[in-house]
Structure 1
Amino acid sequence: MVVPVVCVAVTFIAIVDGAITTVALPSIARQFQLTTAALDGVVVVYPVCLAMAIPASAWLVERFGAKRVLLVALAGFLGSSVLCGAAADLGQLVVYRAMQGMSAGVLFPASAALLFSTFNSSDQVRISRHMIIPQQIAPAAAPILGGLLVDHLSWRWVFYVNVPVGLPALLFGLVFLAEQRGRRPGRFDLPGLLLSAAAMAGLMFGISEGPNRGWSSVSVLASLSVGTALLAAAVLVELRTTEPLLKLRLFADRLFRDTNLINLVGLVPMLGAMYLGPLFLQQGLGRTALESGTSTFPEAFGVLLTVQIAGVLYVRVGPRIIIGCGMAGVGAVLLLLATCDAHTSLWTFRVYMFLFGIAMGGVFMPTTVASIARIGRQDLAQASTLNTVVRQTGGALAPAAVTTALVLSTPAAAAEAPPVAAYQHAYLVLAAIAAVTSVFAFLLPDGPARAAARGTTAASGPVQAERRAGAHH
């Protein structure tokens, strides 16, 4: 259980750090004598640099081994966290925050590659039932933890807090993680890195800033246009390269392609609703931040409950039915949330969020495990990297879709305070996306995934044998 322990700690601090900074922005602005809007770079630079670092992670894992890459990235993340906490001005904070993002961009794929290469499909289902805990608790706990640290210590502890959690994980991994030999993955694909990193940075900036600056602003349009052009060039280069940095040929496998497409589109209504809930409660209904936090938190309990059940059902019925029903449930609960108004009690909203979590729990684990069911051991690092790219993109699209729906549903005279009807319309848009994704999920060809979970070799032959051999290292 050494690998899951390290990966749980890594996942927890990386997710918390991505969500906790927003809470500290007003305090940072006061100390540096700036407006909160002037600190936009502190927030945006993290996902942009994270996206830029992801493409190189697979090559690094293949060349140096998952253990080395994971621990070096974790050390870099902790070091940059300390530097962020000690920053003397805004410029330093943005630079150190960029270093944090680049470290996180390697952490996520490296930890996933370590899990995938250590455990076979049936074990991954079991492990995922535990891995989902930090993934759900972290974003829910981040605002509460951040508020306590800022109120009772200072904003600097929002960054320092990573050390008490990450340092023991680093030392534990150094001592107990088995050494993994790297291989020679071929010459480093520099053109692929430059094109893909620049494309991801441009797209992530445009998607993140579109809701704030407006989709018609010059900077957003330019970044999206340049990012799209660079992405197209990157795809052409990577498909023609013998040893590409991003092995896009893996998308030729229908199971891998379809599960990633479900993740890309399906994350929009799921994460979009998580982003929309606090806005609706605080801005639409005038509830306090504490009431908002306690009303959205039940979602985490719903996810934790369903994941345990899905882990048992996965081997018996396969991922297709679980994912399809999960996405259908997401759409149904979003329709319920669209009926909420000023007369809806907080307890009713909490029940809806609990049901929403139950539905979401049927999507997260099955899509991840099924995506690599047919992937050979030699391509696991590449598959993990592509999975991370897709999830990060879907995560960035979610708030952008919500904000756009709110803007389009809000009269110009009420632009500063969207009416309740605008939030209801946004929930309906998300429900429609979930419904379409559900239909697509029910068409998922999950035969190989079921066979892999049962430990049979009919689906992928030597792939499962390689995984079982890897689990003994």
Structure 2
Amino acid sequence: MSSLLVRPRIRPRVAVVLVYTAAMCMNGLDSTIVNPALFTIAGDFGQPVSAANTVETAFLVALALALPVAGWLGDRFGTKRIFLTSLAAFTLASAVCGLAQNLATLVVARGVQGLAGGLLTPVGMTLLFRAFEPHERARLGKVLIVPTALMPALGPPLGGLLTEHLTWHWLFFVNVPIGTAAVLLGVFGLREHVEGSAGPFDRTGFLLVTPALGLLTYALGFGPSQGWGRPAVAISAVLGGMLLVAAVLHQLRSVQPLLRLRLFRDRAYGTASALAGVTAAGLMGVLFVFPLLYQAALGASALDAGLSVFPEAIGLMFASQVVDRLLPRIGPRRLVVPALLLAALVFAALALPGVAEHAWSVRALMFAIGLVLGTAVLTVQLAGFETLAPPDMGNAMGLFQIVRTLGGAAGIAVCAALVGGAGHGAGPVDPGPFRIAVWATAGLVALGALPALRLPKDPPQPPPFNDVQEGAGAQDPAPKVA
């Protein structure tokens, strides 16, 4: 009885869902909440806006740097330990960001946030997927969609509200109570899982992959705005590409690689990873370029343009309900292929002449994008890991996030290249280049229907009765305890 008073009894599955949701909401919110405050931050520190942009640069590049090692760290030291350590570091860095009295301190603390955030997503998803059998994961759509859709969409309006009515410091302080509570809940409620299969650390792979992702993230993120010919961007792109090629060759030859690229040979996982990159490119591209088209066609303000895409997040919330009901009945292939084709049509409709001039048409189409494409994205994310063995889960999550991150950055870069210098000169703005860029994203999404034909046809099935008896399908599957 006394032990119950010391250690609260928390169902492991409930703890996993609550801690994961809290951590990912913080991470998703922080990816966009700072953007509206950059002018204010620059003014407070007496710095130009270009210098304040390093706040976001540090976060994005650091996040990319952490992704390659997430799977190895989780397998080697335990998913609970790495997840909670990352969450604690993210929370502490948020407090330091809020207390920062100069730009240098803010940039360094923001970089720590990015490193911790890069570990949180793949390790957190590993925790979540290991707590549920494949046939049960359709229910996770409601859990996955909140931090990945709603929080990034709420970031800009919440950031503007806090900056205007309080101070920009509160953009970071809001994480402290949430993160502290999540860490405490995780300490008592999460089960440790040490896979025990992680071999010696692949130093060569680390020294190739990590700078490659960091340099490519920088180039793709800042090439469109600063110019691809700028020395820092051009060198980053070329050097990052060369390192990435060398990293791939090393990973394929290594006996114990940092990233198990051979996992892509698994039909379901390889297809899902490719689709993750394509859909991220299409979605991030259209969310980048359509607000520009909206302003070019209507002369709308930046705030109006930002709010015009918000219904997409609402559609994504409804998509979780669709996946929950349809995936167990019709299977991944029958759900994803029609969803991608329909999403491509909706994307294309956004760029039709006359559509952007009607606010409610835009809102309806944005809602449809969230609903239809969100259904495909969630299904791919759930179905891609169905056939993977437990020892591969951590590494697979890291690879999946890398592909999705690079796909989204590439989609934005392609759209920015198609737009070119439109809208920067004097006189009326020609919406033509913006429409072409939106149609390009529609083509990307439509092409995704071809690899989607390789997804499993049948819904995920419960494990055999004997496995259930042995604990494989138990309510709270018992992992290896460290």
TM over 0.5: yes
Q: Following TM superposition, by how much is the alpha carbon of 1:431 offset from its aligned partner in structure 2, in angstroms?
A: 1.2
Q: Following TM superposition, by how much is the alpha carbon of 1:165 offset from its aligned partner in structure 2, in angstroms?
A: 2.0
Structure 2 residue aligned with 1:82 = 95
Q: Secondary structure at the match of 2:375?
A: coil
Query: Residue 285 and residue 304 in structure 1: after superposition, are their counterparts in 2 closer, same or farther (change >3 A)?
Result: same
- Contact 1:118-1:467 at 8 Å conserved across structures: no
Structure 2 spans left out of the alignment, 5+ residues: 1-13
| TM-score, normalised relative to structure 1 | 0.92
Q: Find out whether 1:397 has 2:410 as its counterpart.
A: yes
Query: Residue 147 and residue 248 in structure 1: after superposition, are their counterparts in 2 closer, same or farther (change >3 A)?
Result: same
What are the superposed Cα offsets for residues 34-88 of structure 1, whole Å, 9 maximum, x if unpaired? 2212222111121111111111111111112111111000000011111112222
Distance 2:423 2:169 in 1: 40
Distance 1:256 1:269 in 2: 20
Query: Residue 126 and residue 109 in structure 1: after superposition, are their counterparts in 2 closer, same or farther (change >3 A)?
Result: same
Q: Following TM superposition, by how much is the alpha carbon of 1:375 offset from its aligned partner in structure 2, in angstroms?
A: 0.6
Matches within 5 A, 1:90-239: 90-183=103-196, 185-239=198-252
Structure 2 residue aligned with 1:454 = 461
How many matched pairs?
465
Q: Secondary structure at the match of 1:20?
A: coil
Structure 2 residue aligned with 1:472 = 477
Distance 1:198 1:470 in 2: 42
Distance 1:174 1:456 in 2: 30
Structure 2 residue aligned with 1:429 = 440
Distance 2:270 2:160 in 1: 40
More moved, 235-244 vs 26-35: 235-244
Q: Following TM superposition, by how much is the alpha carbon of 1:456 offset from its aligned partner in structure 2, in angstroms?
A: 4.8
Structure 2 residue aligned with 1:381 = 394
Q: Secondary structure at the match of 1:361?
A: helix
| TM-score, normalised relative to structure 2 | 0.91
Distance 1:465 1:306 in 2: 35
Distance 1:300 1:202 in 2: 30
Distance 1:25 1:6 in 2: 30
Percent identity (aligned): 33
Structure 2 residue aligned with 1:371 = 384
Matches within 5 A, 1:15-94: 15-94=28-107
Q: Following TM superposition, by how much is the alpha carbon of 1:248 offset from its aligned partner in structure 2, in angstroms?
A: 0.9
Q: Following TM superposition, by how much is the alpha carbon of 1:334 offset from its aligned partner in structure 2, in angstroms?
A: 1.2
- Contact 2:290-2:438 at 8 Å conserved across structures: no
Query: Residue 343 and residue 8 in structure 1: after superposition, are their counterparts in 2 closer, same or farther (change >3 A)?
Result: closer
More moved, 318-327 vs 9-18: 318-327
What are the superposed Cα offsets for residues 254-289 of structure 1, whole Å, 9 maximum, x if unpaired? 221111111111211112222223333345422234
Distance 1:209 1:467 in 2: 47
Structure 2 residue aligned with 1:295 = 308
State which of 313, 317, 341 in structure 1 corresponds to 2:326: 313
State which of 241, 255, 263 in structure 1 corresponds to 2:254: 241
Q: Following TM superposition, by how much is the alpha carbon of 1:333 offset from its aligned partner in structure 2, in angstroms?
A: 0.8
Q: Following TM superposition, by how much is the alpha carbon of 1:412 offset from its aligned partner in structure 2, in angstroms?
A: 7.9
Distance 2:428 2:476 in 1: 54
Q: Following TM superposition, by how much is the alpha carbon of 1:345 offset from its aligned partner in structure 2, in angstroms?
A: 2.0
- Contact 1:4-1:131 at 8 Å conserved across structures: no
Distance 1:171 1:312 in 2: 34
Structure 2 residue aligned with 1:444 = 454
Q: Following TM superposition, by how much is the alpha carbon of 1:367 offset from its aligned partner in structure 2, in angstroms?
A: 0.8
Query: Residue 66 and residue 424 in structure 1: after superposition, are their counterparts in 2 closer, same or farther (change >3 A)?
Result: same
* 4+ residue segments displaced more than 6 Å: 461-466
